[in-house]
Amino acid sequence: VLHAYSIGATCAVHLASKFGSEISGLIVESGLMSVKSLPMVAMLAPMIFQADPTKFQRLKEPFNTLEKMPTISCPTLVMHGDRDEVVPFSQAEQCYRGCGASRKRLRRCVNAGHTDARMAMNWDEEVKVLLDLATSDTPADEAPPATYFPEGVLVEAHSLSTE
């Protein structure tokens, strides 16, 4: 099971799209889906590209994370704070809508920002449900709460790869 936070989502989604048959589940927590859509980038782009504002629009999205989402087939949990000022909640909605998995869940963390989403919800329980989904054929919306947390199934992605 891949677990990714923020920019780590670009790596985890890449791995899940490339090695889908070997990935049992994906957790995207406050995940970055589009660098070009970040508020900070949108604010700085006009200053950086003053001479030719259309240049920014012509730049490719660096990681193409949203384009990879339809290829995801493993059970997926998307968790995101609805007051995230770094990566807007709309990116979580795009992640969820674009995800090709038949077993997927989107959890809005009410009044949470970028770094405290897991504090605003029952994070452990949501992860347990995903782990149950990763080991069963139960549709995500019908999954009962998990009662255990199997050891050794959580892997965190911390680096980016172009391969």
Report the C-alpha gap between 120 and 22 in whole angstroms. 31
| The pLDDT value given to residue 133 | 86
What are the tens digits of pLDDT across the range 49-60? 988 988 988 999
Residue 151, pLDDT above cutoff 60: no
d(CA 43, CA 45): 6
Give the model's pLDDT for residue 160: 46
Phi, psi of 126 (to 5 degrees): -65, -40
138 versus 119: which is more confidently predicted?
Answer: 119
Residue 93 CB-density burial (10 A; 0-12 exposed, 13-18 middle, 19+ buried): middle
What does the pLDDT look like over 37-95, one tens digit per residue?
999 998 999 899 988 988 988 999 999 999 999 999 999 999 999 999 999 999 999 99
pLDDT digits (tens, 9 = 90+) for 108-124: 999 999 999 888 888 88
Q: List, in order, residues 6 or more apart from 54 with CB less than 8 Å away.
A: none
pTM: 0.80
